[in-house]
Structure 1
């Protein structure tokens, strides 16, 4: 191997200095080039790592989607077997109608949820690993998975209202050429105005670009049921009739037929399920607002849930939580549970801290054992025990106890409109001494009555809960009883008599969401139908960051502005 002899170094000091400086400059340039290459490699490695993480997350989402789809398809198939299978139970025609209605509603709701999962999955699959997440409340549901024989024709006799949609531009987005009108696209929606139906005709020009052949039309406004027949007002009417007026869908079907609008019960079930899906978004936001308060009322009531395999119903429960009676914007939130176990209020409240006013049900005891939740009692339940004794036969002791309690309620009537601070002061001055005397009388009387008698149990009930019963003396924001939340359950009781049961646990959860909205609207002096009409029109395109504006009390402010 022939080696190249080294270059002789210059003998001149200046030339030698110039050579050294030149070599140092080349070395710095080489090091800068290596540093740039290293930085570029690091960026590539980081990008690869981010892409790998995004792909892993995407794979996880797909696996979860597949699991959800399989579960929903299984549930739909089971509901359809129950719906269309043979039944040996002896049921009246009305019971059969309600039974079928409950199952049709569940099938429609499950299909709506399945459609949403499929649509969201398609969006995830279409987006790249760096794709931005949509800020809308949720993805607009896609076309129905279930294949129907055809869309119902809207009766020709209904009045038509035309809505024209003008194009935003008359320039082709593809080539920049001019767009010419070559026709129209017409979409009809069944709309309900209190007392009658009408048809909204959406008329959109069909525009063509002659240079490149592009044909386009202005987009339709987003609908509560994408590509569906009803407007938001029509869906709101079905929901209000079912849950506010307690009118089963088979009766609504008959009413619509008399009005010349033949809508099948299965279609109404589908509309109801989709509407309740949208409303659940508002209900969850109401729950978050409710848990910001420091005083809550709670109660529970049975809700039969259908067990189609046996032809019977199981006893589930709706738990209701309400803000304090004088809250600036009162809220009532319902929570469905398959049973009455105490774990359900624990799960609902989570880490919430404050005063919880309830009846004597032991399911709340685990909450009270935590330092973060303080128990407040209910004098209405104390009164009820003495009242029941009196109803079974004259009881001087029960009569005297009822007279004591009546004085307490008399004080509450006098201070009803007072602010919390004045209420607490008046209670301590007027009710405090009265309660001390009442307790002494109860303790003395307890020693004189038969230990296992009804009056003894009533006295023991009051004395055992004395600390919780007298908490309202010092806290003016508290009510004397739990009646504010019990009033919120009246609608459930009426509905239970009319539609008897819900189809399954998912149906119970949707019913809880709807009752949350209806009762909160009532508490805030809002007509439920008007509220539902507006929010169902807005929700399909409403951004998450502005969701608080659609909460009933905020909606009322904007409506009155």
Structure 2
């Protein structure tokens, strides 16, 4: 209220009129100022409410995502895992070094063959000293299975004389049958030619670990237990001790590091088969890797690529990378052309800028954004959006078994009108919600990628979402909680190879342990040009034939 003037009122009518007009103008100015202040306060309150809502949504999402401790303090079990990873890397590097030294020695011997007659002495380079102790003794109480190797001929290869048995060479391999151990005894007769003094014996079959203790089946068991059953090697060591066979963790690391070399050959063949397809799914997941000397881990990534959901021979290939830069996807795909279905991660944008790769969107990610808003609190807008998406998925469930052409026709006839109405509703609703709110972000995500999201209407072999490749990451997520990290980049690459084979086996209905037992037995002597015959989908056909 305007206070009354303290000075006497003028007696002149004109002066009184001027005073009243002045007071009215002053009152209007005060009302305008009050309105401006109220508007500022309301804007500040709206901004505060929007910020609070956004933070509450983020906190709720993080609380749902949080499953374990964030501390990097190592428990005794974690220290065991740390040593295990390092031992595996050492064993793998020692195996590689031995191979290089043997190849180098063979080349040197070939070059020196002509000069050997003139040389009086030959200097042999000393082999590197093995860091681990001698081979473990196989327990005597284990049952023995004898495998006898008969000679191909009973005549001497040197002079043609008859061969006589003068003894036996016995080498024992530790084998594993699920639930119990056994020992495979390879018995080879020692044959002698008395006229010329030649000694012969049949050769041992090629082994997955040359001159090693385990059979292919035992190596397959160790690998399956770690990567399929998610048992770190220190847990396996405890299990074997309970079974009466004390196999040290260092020995298990050595077997694992050498056995995964053969798996990498198959993984590379799977990659070549994968890139023959025209529709691929892609995603990525973190994989902790040791940072030597810092007592911490760095965040590396496994990039995963999967063939289309209805592919006759489904393939999953994992690719290890030290970071999440999009250049890794470019290197993996190379000159590949087709449709790539991903989430909204910007690392794939460089691929989509090329005309050879077409982007396909994921409706599961759209649904997830609206679902997060609804989980924070009742939201009529989010509920209505989710109802639209439920209708789209209901159509997909009904036409799941249809042929691609039939899917295209059904999608365009039934889902097309729904999507047009949904797009119009989203565009209208976007103008009515707070610009920085969670629901605005969910709507913006859908509208921004609308072209990619509706591509499945035109391609019958394309899925409505990227869930097929995300399901392939479940095994990695479970294993990551058990063995926690890989030893280094090389270990990450080998883990990627193994996950590629395991997940591809699962997609093709192959039991991983049975598959690994067979291929690890065959790979040491298998010709490279026939490697495709051992891939999971071809192996299944041969097994059923």
Where on the TM-score scale, by shorter chain, does this alignment land: which range? 0.7 to 0.9
Matches of 1:297 and 1:230 in 2, distance apart? 38
Could you say if the C-alpha distance between residues 134 and 407 of structure 1 is closer, same or farther in structure 2, counting changes exceeding 3 Å?
Answer: farther
User: What is the TM-score when the length of structure 1 is the normalising length?
Assistant: 0.81
Could you say if the C-alpha distance between residues 346 and 280 of structure 1 is closer, same or farther in structure 2, counting changes exceeding 3 Å?
Answer: same
- Of stretches 150-159 and 331-340 in structure 1, the one that deviates more from structure 2 is 150-159
Matches of 1:415 and 1:78 in 2, distance apart? 33
Task: Return the offset for 1:132.
Answer: 22
Matches within 5 A, 1:1-40: none
Q: What per-residue deviation string (whole Å, max 9, x for no partner) do you get for residues 89-122 of structure 1?
A: 9632101111101111111111112222223333
Task: Return the offset for 1:279.
Answer: 0.4
Match of 2:343 among 338, 349, 359: 359
SS in 1 for 2:319: strand
Task: Return the offset for 1:452.
Answer: 1.0
Matches of 2:74 and 2:320 in 1, distance apart? 27
SS in 1 for 2:170: strand
Q: What per-residue deviation string (whole Å, max 9, x for no partner) do you get for residues 312-368 of structure 1?
A: 000000000000000001000000000000000000000000000000100000000
Match of 1:212 among 196, 200, 208: 196
Could you say if the C-alpha distance between residues 71 and 333 of structure 1 is closer, same or farther in structure 2, counting changes exceeding 3 Å?
Answer: farther
Could you say if the C-alpha distance between residues 123 and 523 of structure 1 is closer, same or farther in structure 2, counting changes exceeding 3 Å?
Answer: farther
Task: Return the offset for 1:124.
Answer: 4.0
Task: Return the offset for 1:187.
Answer: 0.7
SS in 1 for 2:303: strand
- Of stretches 188-197 and 41-50 in structure 1, the one that deviates more from structure 2 is 41-50
Q: Is the 8 A contact 1:83 1:103 kept in 2?
A: no
Task: Return the offset for 1:129.
Answer: 13
Gaps of at least 5 residues in structure 1 are: 53-66
Q: Is the 8 A contact 1:116 1:142 kept in 2?
A: no
Could you say if the C-alpha distance between residues 18 and 259 of structure 1 is closer, same or farther in structure 2, counting changes exceeding 3 Å?
Answer: farther
Matches of 2:12 and 2:419 in 1, distance apart? 113
SS in 2 for 1:127: helix
Q: What per-residue deviation string (whole Å, max 9, x for no partner) do you get for residues 101-160 of structure 1?
A: 111111111111222222333344455799999999999999997254321111111111
Could you say if the C-alpha distance between residues 515 and 88 of structure 1 is closer, same or farther in structure 2, counting changes exceeding 3 Å?
Answer: closer
Task: Return the offset for 1:6.
Answer: 161
Matches of 2:246 and 2:29 in 1, distance apart? 83
SS in 2 for 1:321: strand
Aligned match of 2:320 = 336
Task: Return the offset for 1:219.
Answer: 0.4
Q: Is the 8 A contact 2:219 2:256 kept in 1?
A: yes
Could you say if the C-alpha distance between residues 387 and 169 of structure 1 is closer, same or farther in structure 2, counting changes exceeding 3 Å?
Answer: same
Task: Return the offset for 1:308.
Answer: 2.5
Match of 1:250 among 234, 237, 245: 234
- Of stretches 390-399 and 118-127 in structure 1, the one that deviates more from structure 2 is 118-127
Could you say if the C-alpha distance between residues 178 and 416 of structure 1 is closer, same or farther in structure 2, counting changes exceeding 3 Å?
Answer: same
Task: Return the offset for 1:14.
Answer: 163
Could you say if the C-alpha distance between residues 436 and 547 of structure 1 is closer, same or farther in structure 2, counting changes exceeding 3 Å?
Answer: same
Task: Return the offset for 1:87.
Answer: 21
Q: Is the 8 A contact 2:2 2:27 kept in 1?
A: no
Could you say if the C-alpha distance between residues 129 and 477 of structure 1 is closer, same or farther in structure 2, counting changes exceeding 3 Å?
Answer: farther
1:415 aligns with 2:399: yes
Aligned match of 1:142 = 126
Could you say if the C-alpha distance between residues 463 and 70 of structure 1 is closer, same or farther in structure 2, counting changes exceeding 3 Å?
Answer: closer
- Of stretches 337-346 and 388-397 in structure 1, the one that deviates more from structure 2 is 388-397
Match of 1:119 among 97, 102, 115: 102
Q: Is the 8 A contact 2:57 2:372 kept in 1?
A: no
Could you say if the C-alpha distance between residues 73 and 309 of structure 1 is closer, same or farther in structure 2, counting changes exceeding 3 Å?
Answer: farther
User: What is the TM-score when the length of structure 2 is the normalising length?
Assistant: 0.83
- Of stretches 277-286 and 172-181 in structure 1, the one that deviates more from structure 2 is 172-181
Task: Return the offset for 1:223.
Answer: 0.2
Q: What per-residue deviation string (whole Å, max 9, x for no partner) do you get for residues 287-327 of structure 1?
A: 00000000000000000001121000000000000000000
- Of stretches 14-23 and 356-365 in structure 1, the one that deviates more from structure 2 is 14-23
Gaps of at least 5 residues in structure 2 are: none
